[in-house]
Each structure stands twice: as C-alpha cells, then as structure tokens.
Amino acid sequence: MKKYLITAALILGAPQSLLAQADGFYVIFDSTTKDCRVVASNGVPAGLRYKKLGQYATMDEAQGALNSMIGNQCPSG
C-alpha cells in the first residue's frame, strides 16, 4: 500500500513541478529561419542562432507583443 501512495504522489507531483519551472514566456528571433516565435522560459533554445526579444508573464502577453513586433524587430514571416 505504501508503494502505491508514493508512486501516486510522484506521478501527480511531476507535472506540477514541470509547470512551476516555466516562470514566463519569451519572444525569440531565429536568425537562421528569420522567424520569431513564443516559447516558454524553460524551452528557450541556447546558442547564437537565437535572440531573446522580450520576456512576458503570460502566453497572451507574449503573443500580443509578437504580433506588434511583426515588421519591426521580426520579419513578416
């Protein structure tokens, strides 16, 4: 019985801990594809290929910022 409780706690706790690591969203520019996109803070790719253009608390804020950047900092796609 104790094994089942521990297993259930780990299964239910894992998704919450993964979500807790995403403390915001970034708009990033990919210099190779010349495209911008929104990514969670725990999914930001590393390397010189990517440039962070802004950090936002919610996905909606990041998407709104991305839409306003089209044509300025980001190409039209």
Q: Is residue 5 part of a domain?
A: no
**Contact partners, residue 43, CB within 8 Å, separation at least 6:** 22
Q: Is residue 18 part of a domain?
A: no
Q: What is the pLDDT of residues 22-66, one digit of tens each?
A: 589 999 999 898 899 999 988 888 888 999 999 999 999 999 999
Domain extent, residue 75, equals 23-77
Number of domains within the chain: 1
Q: Is residue 63 part of a domain?
A: yes
Q: Is residue 76 part of a domain?
A: yes
Name the residue with tokens 């259930």: 8
Q: Is residue 39 part of a domain?
A: yes
User: 0.75 exceeded by the pTM?
Assistant: no
For residue 4, the model assigns a pLDDT of 47
